[in-house]
Amino acid sequence: MKTLGLPFSDAVIVDDIIYLSGQIGNLPGTLDLAPGGLKAEAKQAIENMKAILEANGSSLDDVIKVTVMMADIDEWGEFNQEYIKYFTAENKPARSAFGTSGLAVGARLEIECIALRRKK
């Protein structure tokens, strides 16, 4: 994964827990948001999370907590339509969601998570 030189880590691992920094729907290696609005950004943000988890010995199946920050909480239902494609009935992490007054680079949402790291 290409680093953007931002002042934080994509992930920090403590024991067997991975703490991911918030992910926006930016295209890999850039700060450009995925075109197409909330659903496109949500898909890209989750794909970004997935890539970071996999690079650190984990996966979306190992996510135990998700926090979602949204520029417009009224888009919560639209976000859920994309979210449920990745987190199935068998794998639903605990989750919080809230509206904000603004997110980095004009993003519609930011998602962070905590996941278990698979034992090697």
Report the CATH number that the domain containing residue 19 is assigned in CATH: 3.30.1330.40
pLDDT in tens, 70-79: 999 999 999 9
Residue 2 lies in a domain: no
What residues form DSSP beta bridges with 12?
A: 19
Residue 63 lies in a domain: yes
Q: What is the rounded distance in angstroms from the CA atom of residue 120 to the CA atom of residue 113?
A: 21
Residue 27 lies in a domain: yes
Residue 3 lies in a domain: no
Domains: count for the chain? 1
pLDDT in tens, 3-57: 667 767 889 999 999 999 999 999 998 999 999 999 999 999 999 999 999 999 9
Residue 5 lies in a domain: no
pTM flag (> 0.95): no
Structural domain containing residue 73: 11-116
Residue 104 lies in a domain: yes
